[in-house]
Amino acid sequence: MEYSPVTGISTGAGMAHENEHQIGSMDITHHRKTYEGFLTVSKWTFSFLALIMVFLAIFRT
């Protein structure tokens, strides 16, 4: 195993390698649920802020 002082990264046989990768084989159901939750929270937050802006525009406060 070699150490590169320039990058601070070890290279060589001591590094972990995963050579068997197949595209599309990873289970991403949790990623999708998290992203859908993020979009839902973003949508509701934007709607709430838009409602506050309309309220302030109507009553000029």
- pLDDT tens-place string over residues 4-36: 566 656 555 555 666 677 788 888 899 999 999
User: Which of 32, 36, 33 is closest to 44 using CA atoms?
Assistant: 36
- pLDDT tens-place string over residues 37-47: 999 999 999 99
CB proximity list for 15: less than 8 A, separation 6 or greater: 1
pLDDT of residue 54: 96
CA 3, distance to chain mean position in Å, is: 31
pLDDT of residue 52: 96
pLDDT of residue 30: 94
Higher pLDDT residue, 58 or 23?
58
pLDDT of residue 46: 98
Residue 43 parent element (H or E): helix 29-59
